[in-house]
Structure 1
Amino acid sequence: MIRTFLGLELPQHIRSQLVLQQFLMPVKRKLPPENFHITLVFLGEANNAQLDALDLELSRLDVTPFTLTLEGLGLYGKGKAHNLHALVRPEPDLMALQEKLLRRAREAGFTPDKRRYHPHVTLSYLRPGSFEQRELEKAVAHSSQFRTEPFEVTEIALFRSHLRPDGAIYDVLERYPLSAELRALKQ
C-alpha cells in the first residue's frame, strides 16, 4: 500500500515566484519548492489493483487544456493558523477537472475525501508557537497583490507521498496528458 494523490505540477518559473513569497513570510518551516503542487484528489492508501484501475481511467481522460493563475496568499485554521498557502484563482475548467477526477477515482475503487475543494499551493505547515499570528496575518494581507502570470495545464500527475518526521516527500509516479491529442504527442 502506498499513500497517493492526484495533482498538478507547477512550472519552475511559478515555483520561483512562490519561493520569493515564502521569503517574505515570517515563518520558520517552509516547504521545499520541489514539493509545490496543486492537489486535485487525495486518494489515500492505494493497492496495486486500485492503481491499475485508476491508470485505465486516467489514460482515457479527454479534457481541453486550460490556464491557471495564482493570486494572493491565505491561511487555513480558525484563530490558530496551521497552513500558509498561495490561492488559485477560481477557474471553472479546474473545478470541472477535479469533479471528473473524483468520479474516475471512485470508479477505480477509491473513497476520496468529501470535503469541499479549495485549490491552493501549500507554502508552509505552521506549528503552534513557531510564529506570531498577528504578524503573519499582516504579512498575508500585504501579499494581496501577489499574482503569477497564467500557466497552462496540459497534464495531471499521480503522486506518491512519503511521510517523514521532517516533512513529506512527493514523487511523481505517472503523468497523464489531459487529452488524446496530447497523449499522441507524448508518444
Structure 2
Amino acid sequence: MIRAFLGLELPQHIRSQLVLRQYLLPLQRRIPPENFHITLVFLGDSTLPQLEDLHLALDRLVVPALQLQITGLGLFGKDKPHNLHAVVAPDDGLVRLQAKLVTLARNCGFVLKPRRFHPHVTLSYLRAGSFDRGELEAAVVRDAQFRTEPFAVQEIALFRSVLRPDGAEYDVLERYGPAQGAVSAKGQNL
C-alpha cells in the first residue's frame, strides 16, 4: 500500500515567503518548506492497481493553468486548534479541478471521505500545550493582510506520503500538466 494524495506544488519564491511568515509566528514545530503544497484529494492507503488506473485517467486530463494567491493565515479546529495554515484565495478554476479529481479518483476505486474543500498550505500542525492560543490567534489576526503575489500553477502532482516519527515526508511520484501527459519526478515523459 502507498499512502498518496493529489496536490499542487508551490513555486520556490512562494515557499520562501511562507518560510519567512512561519518564523514570525510563535510556533514550536514548523512544516519544512519542501513539504509545502496544496492538497486537492487525499487518496489514503492506495493499491498499485488503483494508482495505475488513476495514472491512466490523469494522463488524459488537461490541467488548466491557474493563477492562485495566498491571502492571509487561518486555523483549523475551532475550540482546539490543530492546524495553522496559509489560506489560498477562492478560485473557481481550482474548485472545478478539485471536483474533477475527486470524480476521477472515485471512478478508479478510491473510497474518499467526504470533506469540504478548503484550499490551504499547512505551516504547522499544533499539539495541545505546545502553543499559547491567545498569542497564536493574535498573530493570525495581525497577519490577516499577508498576501503573496499571484502565482501560476500548470500541473498537478501525485504525492507519496511516508509517515516518520518526526512528521510526514512527501515525494512526487508523477506530475500531470496541460496536454503533455504524465511527467516522472525526474522530468521525463512516461
TM-score interval, normalised by the smaller of the two chains: over 0.9
* Residue 35 of structure 2: aligned partner: 35
Separation of aligned partners in 2, 1:184 and 1:41: 18
Deviations 1:115-162 (A, max 9, x none): 111110000001111110000000000001110111111000000000
Q: Over aligned residue pairs, what C-alpha RMSD do you find? A: 1.5
Separation of aligned partners in 2, 1:108 and 1:183: 18
* Residue 10 of structure 2: aligned partner: 10
> How high is the TM-score relative to the length of structure 1?
0.95
* Residue 161 of structure 2: aligned partner: 161
Q: How does 1:131-170 map to 2 (within 5 A)?
A: 131-170=131-170
C-alpha deviation, 1:92, in angstroms: 0.1
Find runs of 4+ consecutive structure 1 residues off by over 6 angstroms.
none
SS at match of 2:106: helix
C-alpha deviation, 1:107, in angstroms: 1.1
Judging changes above 3 Å, is the alpha-carbon distance between structure 1 residues 184 and 103 closer, same or farther for their aligned structure 2 residues? closer
C-alpha deviation, 1:64, in angstroms: 2.4
Separation of aligned partners in 2, 1:160 and 1:133: 32
C-alpha deviation, 1:78, in angstroms: 1.4
1:93 maps to amino acid: G
1:140 maps to amino acid: V
Separation of aligned partners in 1, 2:8 and 2:102: 15
Separation of aligned partners in 2, 1:3 and 1:91: 27
> How high is the TM-score relative to the length of structure 2?
0.94
SS at match of 2:29: coil
Separation of aligned partners in 2, 1:36 and 1:18: 9
Deviations 1:43-73 (A, max 9, x none): 0011110011000000011232111001100
Separation of aligned partners in 1, 2:114 and 2:97: 16
Judging changes above 3 Å, is the alpha-carbon distance between structure 1 residues 175 and 39 closer, same or farther for their aligned structure 2 residues? same
Separation of aligned partners in 2, 1:175 and 1:183: 8
Identity %: 64
Separation of aligned partners in 2, 1:60 and 1:16: 33
Deviations 1:3-25 (A, max 9, x none): 00000000000000000110111
SS at match of 1:163: strand
Unaligned runs of 5+ in 2: none
1:169 maps to amino acid: E
* Residue 51 of structure 2: aligned partner: 51
Q: How does 1:65-104 map to 2 (within 5 A)?
A: 65-104=65-104
Report the count of equivalent residues. Answer: 185
SS at match of 2:103: helix
